[in-house]
Chain A
């Protein structure tokens, strides 16, 4: 029976003879699934050319290339991915890791052409039929991340602990925290391009990941001799452009730099940064001002074998870093750690030596082979509204300097600060601490022209100032300081509607109907600082090219029209520390070239 069945059974296949053939799929008209990984699409506006797609591609199918019509913008490399479909394996890891989520794939998979060259193209730049398709592979959204978009939380003193002391707020990373934060880096290098000093940021972050902090310190000192300082108070332009920040939080680059510097004890610096024997070139350079740019110039010049002498007006080195920034942001011992290392290389420094008073610029010109000036912006600007001539109206920079000098500064019960920048926040928070110590309560108002979104101060400064009970009132323009019986009673302000006009020029508009008075018995102005260049005497000024606003004109090596005279720092660019350091470094190279050419 079984055998007969085995003979007849196969004939049942004939029942399919009336059915349509099963192999009917037509690949040309067939539409692929919604998730299909087909040809790439790229939103060129969103893309920043970070090249992370290129890094992850296992078969080198992606090249970053310049594209016509795409300019190199701030935080954008100007390059865009070009994909070679002869190498692409369609894995879509490039899409999954894309930091801006600009890259995706369409569900188109058929494209026929006789020319093999066309299969290598820049998605988005060359229009394709699938560019507008919705369907195709997108980065899976359900908590699917190939790197951590969230920052490692930094330990900070709580407002209750810090509000009456000048102890440093930010506590720094532990080893585990630093390695976890360093792990988030995608090594795109956009930070390096943006940093005024072009620090090797991905490289030192890599050194942290590898727990090789000696290497990290060496990388820091290649472009920045003040890492402890920059690790605390740098304006971190790198973080604002960090590609990880486009979808998530940017890396804490500043804290990572601080971690490297903090972990290396000062007495090990010489050993780690051993530069070998430096031949003395027998040339002398005078540097005016021991601020960031002067110190940076001194460091790099002394590495080249020049003997440097810094002339510093104040009793200690550091410039604005010491006399402008409060101790709770930048403790003096950390400041000294960086400065002492530079001085240990043989840099001579003359304190309390004001150029123009104790020694003239002419003497420096005669005694030294070149002069570098980085005297900074130490003169506070006034709003010049009625009442500013009153004795209880102060400049923020003057008060901050006095605090650092250890002098007692006047602190009344009700204080108004005019200004919305970081200096204004520094003085506000300093005053808040002093008021807390003196009166047990805080009554300080900081008011700025700019709205809260436009305020130039760092966001965290505003938040922390509020945590310390200071009141921030953005969007008010000062009208006059009200004085009754020779005593300040308040600051009258108008509502500010806009600060800049359509051409982005400073041209504030006020609503005069909307007025308010902030009660105060003391007013502090903090609306910006100016330079004091009185040490440049008329005889030099004749040949020194300056622009209409009285700024010295320099070339790319920070050389002025007086060939022996170099200038950098806040008086030229910035104002901020890292720009000053970058200026000092470039000027050192310029001075070296100048001296080599002349000798």
Chain B
């Protein structure tokens, strides 16, 4: 029936020639290849990192990721700071989603110190983590659409995110770095009228999400560029250590909130969002549905949260808080997957070792380097954003 106006037959098995190890023989002096740097100054890169791409024509032959533009040495800094002094800096590890750092650090410390935080503080932590997921997804969705040329989605979603940040501001005193989940509890109760304003915010977001579904997901161009693109195979999940929506889109319901329940998640009614096939489109859709799930969870939390009560447990004097020696790993489900803090204490006032397990490292370095081969240069940005990575957390 259909008659193609243009036909383009490419048999990529012919070139470049493969060496004995099965990898392509890349000889730059042959002038058949071109090296370009994708990032760090590129709107399609999700932060301060870059991809060193070797192209043949418009096809990626080889990719090497470069990180280090944002290395601040937080893990080492923490070894030279008292525990309470680590609290203001952990949020800076992952800029767009800081609360998971605060939660994982605080809960690891509390576990070693054997501190039970008040019920009210548990609910408030849970609320803040879900709000954080919501705003992180809103930021991602703008990036995903933008990387494939749809500017308007980012304007809508960042407006919605701003509204969430307003709620963060009135609850925690900060918009980006909330510094709210302090070891021992949280730093404030819900302000008056918070529930009403939060509900208004959620309704605005829901209304925009409907538009976003129509404009972004029910969109022939978006589908053309994302369906069957950047596929993650099921057996890669354990090979690379893939977590979060990237894994759930393959049909494996990996979710820390269910697998290792924490805070009040056992009291909340939800099922992890999954899909059957992890291409860019399905991953995006899993994230969109996960965003809506976050809205639902925030409503569930606000319906159950006690509106007053203690916000902080009694702890030793923070100026010389000695955490009993031991080691622990504390994890939570952030928007990108499993976020964790491995904390070792030698019984002194300073943490002996803090290691941040962020999902971005596996997704943006190991996985991306392999996935991107033989893709088109125009799809690199969209593919990278579809893995939802935050370079600050790769480098710490």
A positions within 8 Å CB-CB of B: 3, 5-7, 9-10, 12-13, 15-16, 21-23, 25, 32-37, 52, 55-58, 89-93, 96-97, 137, 140, 142-148, 183-187, 206, 209
Beta-carbon contact of B189 and A183 below 8 Å: no
Contact partners of A52 in chain B: CB under 8 A? 319
With the chains together, A10 CA to B152 CA distance in Å?
11
B209 to chain A, nearest CB (A): 13
Contact partners of A140 in chain B: CB under 8 A? 187-189, 311-312
| A35-B191, A36-B173 known; A144+B215 contact, CB < 8 A | no
With the chains together, A142 CA to B320 CA distance in Å?
22
B268: interface (CB < 8 Å): no
- The listed residue (A10, A57, A91) touching B87 by CB distance below 8 A is A91
Beta-carbon contact of A143 and B312 below 8 Å: yes
- The listed residue (B85, B188, B221) touching A56 by CB distance below 8 A is B85
B81: interface (CB < 8 Å): yes
The closest CB in chain A to the CB of B158 belongs to A23
- The listed residue (B89, B162, B173, B215) touching A33 by CB distance below 8 A is B173
Contact partners of A5 in chain B: CB under 8 A? 218
B177 to chain A, nearest CB (A): 7
Beta-carbon contact of B84 and A34 below 8 Å: no
Closest A-B pairs by Cβ, 4 of them: A91-B88, A58-B85, A22-B159, A9-B218
| A5-B218, A25-B162 known; A58+B155 contact, CB < 8 A | no
Contact partners of B81 in chain A: CB under 8 A? 58
Beta-carbon contact of B162 and A10 below 8 Å: no
The closest CB in chain A to the CB of B152 belongs to A13
Q: Apart from A35-B172, A56-B318, list 18 A-B contacts with CB within 8 A.
A: A6-B218, A6-B219, A9-B215, A10-B218, A10-B221, A12-B214, A13-B152, A13-B214, A23-B158, A32-B169, A34-B170, A35-B170, A35-B173, A58-B89, A93-B87, A145-B314, A147-B318, A148-B317
Beta-carbon contact of A22 and B156 below 8 Å: yes
- B80-93 CB mask vs A (1 if < 8 Å, else 0) is 01001111110010
With the chains together, A206 CA to B159 CA distance in Å?
51
B271: interface (CB < 8 Å): no
| A35-B173, A58-B81, A58-B89 known; A145+B218 contact, CB < 8 A | no
Q: How many of chain B's residues touch chain A, expressed as a range?
A: 35 or more
B211: interface (CB < 8 Å): yes
Contact partners of B308 in chain A: CB under 8 A? 142
Beta-carbon contact of B319 and A56 below 8 Å: yes
- The listed residue (B155, B189, B318) touching A22 by CB distance below 8 A is B155
| A9-B218, A144-B311, A183-B317 known; A23+B159 contact, CB < 8 A | yes
Beta-carbon contact of A93 and B89 below 8 Å: no
Beta-carbon contact of A9 and B88 below 8 Å: no
- The listed residue (A22, A56, A137, A187) touching B173 by CB distance below 8 A is A137
B368: interface (CB < 8 Å): no
Contact partners of A36 in chain B: CB under 8 A? 169, 173-174
With the chains together, A458 CA to B317 CA distance in Å?
29
B357: interface (CB < 8 Å): no
B241: interface (CB < 8 Å): no
- The listed residue (B162, B177, B216, B317) touching A147 by CB distance below 8 A is B317
B185: interface (CB < 8 Å): yes
B24: interface (CB < 8 Å): no
Contact partners of B185 in chain A: CB under 8 A? 144
- The listed residue (B166, B189, B215) touching A13 by CB distance below 8 A is B215
A160 to chain B, nearest CB (A): 33
Contact partners of A21 in chain B: CB under 8 A? 155
B353: interface (CB < 8 Å): no
Most buried by A among B89, B215, B218, B319: B319
With the chains together, A437 CA to B86 CA distance in Å?
61
Contact partners of B315 in chain A: CB under 8 A? 146
| A13-B211, A144-B185 known; A185+B169 contact, CB < 8 A | no
Beta-carbon contact of B179 and A92 below 8 Å: yes
With the chains together, A58 CA to B84 CA distance in Å?
8
B84 to chain A, nearest CB (A): 6
Beta-carbon contact of B317 and A146 below 8 Å: yes
B310: interface (CB < 8 Å): yes
Most buried by B among A3, A140, A186: A140
With the chains together, A10 CA to B191 CA distance in Å?
39
Most buried by A among B211, B216, B221, B317: B317
B227 to chain A, nearest CB (A): 11
With the chains together, A187 CA to B177 CA distance in Å?
29
Contact partners of A146 in chain B: CB under 8 A? 84, 315, 317-319
30 contacts between A and B (CB under 8 A): A6-B220, A9-B218, A12-B214, A12-B215, A13-B214, A22-B156, A22-B159, A23-B159, A25-B162, A32-B169, A33-B173, A34-B170, A35-B170, A35-B171, A35-B173, A35-B191, A52-B319, A89-B89, A89-B177, A90-B177, A90-B179, A93-B85, A93-B88, A96-B187, A140-B188, A142-B308, A146-B317, A147-B319, A187-B319, A206-B320
Beta-carbon contact of B318 and A144 below 8 Å: no
B161 to chain A, nearest CB (A): 11
- B172-192 CB mask vs A (1 if < 8 Å, else 0) is 111001010000010111010
B223: interface (CB < 8 Å): yes
A37 to chain B, nearest CB (A): 4
With the chains together, A143 CA to B311 CA distance in Å?
7
With the chains together, A58 CA to B89 CA distance in Å?
8
B77 to chain A, nearest CB (A): 9
B316: interface (CB < 8 Å): yes
- The listed residue (A25, A37, A93, A145) touching B174 by CB distance below 8 A is A37
